[in-house]
Amino acid sequence: MSDAAIAAVQHGDVETLTRLLAENPELANARVGDDKARTLLHVVTDWPGHFPNGPATVAALVAAGADVNARFGGTAHAETPLHWASSTNDVAVLDALLDAGADINAPGAVIAGGTPLDDATAFGQWQAAHRLVERGAETTFTHAATLGLQDRLAAHDPGKPEIDRAFWGACHGGQQQTAEHLLGRGADVNWIPPWEDVTPLDAAQRSGADELVRWLRDHGGRSARPGSR
């Protein structure tokens, strides 16, 4: 029965899903799939996301009693469906989950145990990230830098480590104006984060921010890749 429900979710067959939920109310919060670690709300937000009729599927599951803040049951993380929608840039489903009461600042992300916004910014899902901010997500200094939210930077008085991290985030996000501001506040132009061997220049290049890459090189930015400048 759970396999049929998963198929209905993935194909956007809300009519069949609604019938299955009526016949088997426990499906709304059942742990499904081979790992028995996810709920059907996790299925509708699972990679690559953007399944047909996603918002209507969320509404049907919530109407049947699904816990919109259910946690992934595996050992690697405790992500909610909102974390997953944020990681796939599925803004329509993200909105549906928030409208149904999802905790916008829920911890448990695969990224340092953080919030859905941590997932969205780390994976470069910029539409989801900005939508989360619009809907009221709490932002750190690094979030603000990564998304180019200049007005929010002034609300923080960070130390040097946080400035370096935020500078890297600004380059990852392709935010040259923010990067210039942070370099003026003492950021290390070649700071490498503990999670990957990628300099700010590498991060900007990976994000396709060509003008920012040129600016970084002009200010001493280097690549961590052998043979690269």
Supply 80's token pair: 């909610």
Q: Please give the pLDDT value at position 228.
A: 58
**For residue 227, is pLDDT > 70?**
no
Rounded Cα distance between 126 and 209, Å, is 14
Tell me the pLDDT tens digit for each residue of 74-89.
Answer: 777 899 999 999 999 9
Instruction: Specify the 3-state DSSP secondary structure of 225.
Output: coil
CA 197 to each of CA 34, 71, 145, 160: distance values in angstroms, whole numbers, following the listed order: 34, 31, 20, 20
Q: How much of the chain, in percent, has pLDDT values that exceed 90?
A: 90
Task: Please check whether the domain covering 147-218 is classified as CATH 1.25.40.20.
Answer: yes
The CATH number of the domain covering residues in 2-138: 1.25.40.20
Q: Quick check: 103 and 78 in contact, CB under 8 A?
A: no
The residue extents of the domains of the chain are: 2-138, 147-218
Q: Please give the pLDDT value at position 141.
A: 96
CA 76 to each of CA 30, 37, 73, 193: distance values in angstroms, whole numbers, following the listed order: 20, 11, 9, 21
Q: Quick check: 119 and 87 in contact, CB under 8 A?
A: yes
Question: Given pLDDT bands bounded at 50, 70 and 90, which one contains residue 155?
Answer: confident
Tell me the pLDDT tens digit for each residue of 1-42.
Answer: 789 999 999 999 999 999 999 999 999 999 998 889 999 999
One fold for both 2-138 and 147-218? yes
